[in-house]
Chains A and B, each alone.
Chain A
Amino acid sequence: MIEKTQIIINKLGLHARAAAKLSHLANMFNANIYLIYNEDKVNAKSLLGILTLAASVGNEIVLQASGDDEQQAITAISDLFNRKFDEES
């Protein structure tokens, strides 16, 4: 299992469209992938689960993955966060 701390840098935080992109991406991997924010841990493959975090810009979350492609999953998801979910120029 690997973990990575990630800061949310897009202005709107983990809102609906960002959560949809994130869950869609997470579903491409075999690994079990979770997002941990404060004391909440949700399945990154669940759009509605991600939304319950109500995480905003500047918040720090932990990406956690376990499985054969865990490293690729964390790298790809972290990249999506860093690209601001492709919603800002």
Chain B
Amino acid sequence: MIKSLIITHGNLGHELIQVAEKILEQKLDIQAIAFDWQGDGSDMIAQLEKFIAANKGNKIVIFTDMFGGSPSNIASRFINKNVEVVTGINLPGLLKFFCCEGKSSKFKETVKTVEQGAIEGINIISEYLGEKND
């Protein structure tokens, strides 16, 4: 079982989850944590520790909004064989996770698929259409 968490600046994570749930028409098993702009991150660390402890025995993927940002930097401290962090999560990446998650029993494979989905979701439309028409 892969458990998931999304940590972002502000309410970006909550909003992403809401939109994904609307599209997939189902409640998603994912929790969001909003980075407190005024805080020093200790609150987020405590929430992360709590989440990881509560999901002991499961694989955990933590999605963050931007590589190098505080949510990513803090989440990175928790990486081990059971915990992975995917930065720059977007709607395609999140949808990919909830569409493929149950199909792959391999943790690393699932995480890689999410990364690819997120990257492939970014296109300059005119270039994309140009390539298709070449």
Contact = CB atoms under 8 A, between A and B. Distances in A.
B10 interface: no
Contact of A16 (B23, B117, B132): B23
Interface stretch (A4-12, A40-48, A61-69): A40-48
B99 A46 contact: yes
A60 B21 CA distance: 29
Given A40-B132, A48-B120, A48-B121, A17 B23 contact: yes
| Interface class of chain A by DSSP | helix
Interface residues of B, number: 12
B133 to A, nearest CB: 9
B28 interface: no
Interface in A31-67: 39-40, 46-48, 51
A9 to B, nearest CB: 21
Contacts of A40: 132
Nearest to B120: A48
Interface of B: 22-25, 92, 95-96, 99, 117, 120-121, 132
7 contacts: A17-B22, A17-B23, A20-B95, A40-B132, A48-B92, A48-B117, A48-B120
